[in-house]
Amino acid sequence: MIELKINGQLTKLDVSEDMPLLWALRDVAKLTGSKYGCGKGICGACTVHIDGQAMRSCITPMSYAQGKSITTIEGLAEQGDHPVQQAWQDLKVAQCGYCQTGQIMSAAALLANNPNPSDADINGAMAGNICRCGTYPRIRAAIKQAAKANKAGAQS
């Protein structure tokens, strides 16, 4: 039995220590927002937050996740209204949409650690997230909009 906190809830999963976190989330916990892309930690479709850091769940064994706090796209904001999610909708970032949960999770982690990122910061943080549709300009614009929304919310 592996115990961890998923989206704020203490959870026990009866899985092997070497099972990738992605499969435990999708198949056991039934949280299907994180997607399987490459299975090698390269594409970013499976990105979740582990103790606040964006990490690839397809290559993270459950033994590493033990006792940690995991946030999936389902837990990013209760109503799906995190500033990054809102910016994604406002700017119609998603095209096919497959990679977008990983993109959003990486962007949210970036803004949590750097509330006013430069283009270089955004490029660096998002470099490991692949979008076959090529919506990178909209992704960058959405991150900038979310940063402004975060800043405006903090001033309120």
Average pLDDT over residues 76-85: 93
Same domain, 71 and 9: yes
Domains: count for the chain = 2
**Higher pLDDT pick, 132 / 27:** 27
> Environment class of residue 153 by beta-carbon count within 10 Å: exposed (0-12), middle (13-18) or buried (19+)?
exposed
Q: Using the predicted structure, report yes or no on whether residue 25 has a pLDDT greater than 70.
A: yes
Average pLDDT of the chain is 94
Domain boundaries, position 50: 2-75
CATH number at residue 68: 3.10.20.30
Q: Using the predicted structure, report yes or no on whether residue 118 has a pLDDT greater than 70.
A: yes
pTM of the predicted model as reported, rounded to 2 decimal places: 0.93
pLDDT at 150: 78
| Cα–Cα dist 129/107, whole Å | 10
pLDDT at 78: 87
Nearest to 59 by CA among 73, 71, 43, 74: 43
Q: Give the list of residues 6+ apart from residue 10 with CB closer than 8 angstroms, or none.
A: 3, 4
CATH number at residue 88: 1.10.150.120
Same domain, 67 and 88: no
Q: Which of 75, 95, 118 is the last residue of a domain?
A: 75
Same domain, 69 and 112: no
